[in-house]
Amino acid sequence: MNRFSKLIALALSAVMLLLSGCTEDPVVRKQTNQVQITLSWWGNDSRNEYTIAAVQRFEKLHPEIKVKCSYSEWSGYEARSQVQMISGTEADVMQINVGWLAKYSPDGNGYYDLEKLADTVDLSNFSSEMLDYGRRNGVLNAIPIAMNAETVYINKSVYDSFGVSVPQTWDDLFRAADVFRKHGIFALAGASKSIWLYCIAYAEQQTGKTFFTDNGEINFSAGEFKVMIEFYDRLVKEKVIPKVEDFQRFNIDNGAYAGVVAWVSDALNYYKGVIEKGSEIIAAGYTADDPSKAGSGWYAKPATLYALSRNTEHPKEAAMLLDFMLNSTEWAELQGVEKGIPLSASVRKYLDETGKLSGLQYEASQVMENNKLIRPMNSVIEDSALYETFIDACDLVLFNKATADEAASQLCKTYAEKYKMRQDSAS
C-alpha cells in the first residue's frame, strides 16, 4: 500500500468515524421538576389578594416549589375543609380554625406533628403558651397566627353627628337606637356568628352562667336560651340591629350601620373604605351592663392557625412555606395586621419597626389584650350548626311562629341531639 492509498484509507476512516458520530441519538430535554404543594385558606378579598401575592414571592424565592392555592370565604371554606379532611384530600398547608383541632384531631394525629419539622419551621418565635393553643394530646398540630375576639366597632362620625355617645352598656345601645331609628340607621349590625356571640355575652352577664362548663358541656338551659332569644328579638324589633339575614356589607360603607360587631381580624375588611372616606371608627369597649364589667361573657381565641396535612407527601416544602408564612418579613409586609397582631416575635418586631402596629385593627387588639375579664373561647361555640339553629329559633319568635319559651325549649332539644349538655340543661 503506497502512501496515497494509506492517506485515502485514513481519510475514509475519519469520515466513517465522523458519520458514526452523527448517528441520531434521541433528543432529551430535561424539565424542571417542580414540587407542587397546596395551600388553603379562608378570607375576604384583601386576604385573598395579598396571600396570592405573597405566595408568588415564595415561589420566586423557591422556583423548585409550585404552590396551588385554594381559598374561599369562611362558610364555604368550612364546608370544603370538612369534605377534604374526611376524604383525605386536604391541602398540604392549611389555615384552620381552632375548633377543628378537636374536631379532626382528637388524639393529636389528625394533623402533621410540626415539632418534627422544627429544623425548618422556627418555633422559637412563639411562646410555649401560644403553641399550646395548637397542641392536641401533646402533639403540636398547629401554630396560631394571632389572637382574635369579637369587637364592637363604632362609626364615631355617625354617632357624633347625631349627638349620641359611644355605647358602653346595653342600655346605651338601646338609647342610641331610639335616636337612629327614625333616620333609618341601625346602631349596630353583625353577621350571624357575631350576633350569636353578642347575645351569649348578654345572656352570660344577665344570668351569671357561662355558656360552657369547664368540662366543655353546654351550660345554658332553656332559660338562658330564652334570654338570648328575647334579647335578639328586642334588638331586631327595636331596630337596634337588622336581622342577620338582612345584613348587607355595603350598609357599613353608606353609614346605614353606625356600628358593627365583628372580629378583630375583620376591622380593616369592614372599615378600610369608610376610614379612607374620612370617617372616624373606634374599637369600643365590650358592651356590658356596667362598663366595669366589660369583657364578661366575651371570648378570645387564636384568630387562625396554620397546620400541615398529616398525609402530605412534601413535608419539607410544606414546612418551608409554613415558616415563610409565619416568620418571614416578605409575608409580614403584605399581611400586616390583617389577621390580627401576629404572635411571631420576629414578625411583631418587624411590624413595630416599620410602624405597622397601628390603626383600627391594632386598637381592637389592644382592647382585647388589655381586657382582664375576657376568657379563652371553647371552639365549639363557633360551630355553624350551633348558631344557625339559634337564628332559626329567633326567627320563629320574630315572626310569631312560636313563643320565646317554645323556641328556647325546642333549641335546647335540638342541641341536646348533637352536643354535650350539662345534665340538667337539656331538660
Kindly write out the interface string for residues 371-410 of this chain, putting x where it contacts another protein by CB under 8 A and - elsewhere.
------------------------x--xx-x---------
Taking CB under 8 A as the criterion, the residue among 73, 132, 313, 352 binding another protein is 73
Q: For another protein, how many residues bind (rule: CB under 8 A)?
A: 37
- Report if residue 313 touches another protein, rule: CB under 8 A: no
CB of 245 to another protein, least distance (A): 5
* Total residues belonging to the chain: 427
Q: CA torsion, points 344, 346, 348, 354, in degrees to nearest 10?
A: -150
Q: Which is nearer to another protein, 244 or 320 (CB)?
A: 244
Task: Please name every residue paired with 169 in a beta bridge, in sequence order, or none if there are none.
Answer: 288
Residues contacting 148, CB < 8 A, separation 6+: 263, 264, 265, 300, 301, 302, 303, 304, 339, 340, 368
Q: In degrees rounded to 5, what are phi and psi of residue 23?
A: -65, 150
Smallest distance from the beta carbon of 269 to another protein, in angstroms?
6
Give the residue with the Cβ less far from another protein, 23 or 87: 87
Residue 295 — left, alpha, or beta (φ > 0 → left; ψ -120 to 50 → alpha)?
Answer: left
Q: Which is nearer to another protein, 71 or 159 (CB)?
A: 71
* Residue 164 region by backbone torsions, left for phi larger than 0, else alpha for psi between -120 and 50, else beta: beta
Cα within 13 Å of Cα(380), Cβ side = 16
For residues 263-282, which are near another protein according to CB under 8 A? 269-270, 273
Of the residues 80, 193, 226, 314, which one makes contact with another protein according to CB under 8 A: 80
Q: What is the per-residue binding string for another protein in 17-56, x denoting contact by CB under 8 A? A: ------------x-xx-----------xxx-xx--x----
Strand partners, 308: 93
Whichever of 87 and 215 has its CB closer to another protein, that residue is 87
In terms of CB distance, is 95 or 219 closer to another protein?
A: 95
Closest CB to another protein among residues 2, 215: 2
Per rule CB under 8 A, is residue 90 in the interface with another protein? no
Closest-CA residue to 216 (of 40, 80, 378): 378
Work out how close the CB of 99 gets to another protein at its nearest, in angstroms, rounded to a whole number. 19
- What is the pattern of x (binds another protein, CB under 8 A) and - over residues 210-249? ---------------------------------x-x--xx
CB of 70 to another protein, least distance (A): 6
What CA–CA distance (Å, rounded) separates 168 from 222? 28
d(CA 135, CA 106): 10
CB of 95 to another protein, least distance (A): 14
For the chain, count helices (H), then strands (E): 17, 12
Q: Give the residue, chosen from 172, 253, 333, 406, that forms a contact with another protein under the rule CB under 8 A.
A: 253
Nearer residue to another protein within complex by CB, 260 or 326: 260
SS3 278: coil
**Least gap, CB of 81 to another protein (angstroms):** 10
The three-state secondary structure class of 10 is: helix
Distance CA 360, CA 347 (A): 19
- For another protein, which is the closer residue by CB, 8 or 118? 8
Residue 401 CB, nearest distance to another protein (Å)?
6
254 binds another protein (CB under 8 A): yes
Give the other-Cβ count within 10 Å of 372's Cβ: 7
CB of 367 to another protein, least distance (A): 22
> What is the closest distance, in whole angstroms, from the C-beta atom of residue 355 to another protein in the complex?
26
Q: Which is nearer to another protein, 7 or 373 (CB)?
A: 7
Shortest Å distance, C-beta 45 to another protein: 3
Cell numbers for 300, please give them.
378570645
**CA quadruple 331, 336, 337, 339: dihedral positive or negative?**
negative
108: left (phi over 0), alpha (psi -120 to 50) or beta: left
Residue 44 burial (CB < 10 Å; 0-12/13-18/19+)?
middle
Using CB under 8 A, which of 57, 72, 172, 280 touches another protein? Answer: 72
Contact 164, 176 (CB under 8 A): yes
**β-strand partners of 39:** 69, 93
Of the residues 42, 58, 71, 257, which one makes contact with another protein according to CB under 8 A: 71
Residues in contact with another protein by CB under 8 A are 4, 7, 11, 29, 31-32, 44-46, 48-49, 52, 68-73, 75-76, 79-80, 83, 243, 245, 248-250, 253-254, 269-270, 273, 395, 398-399, 401
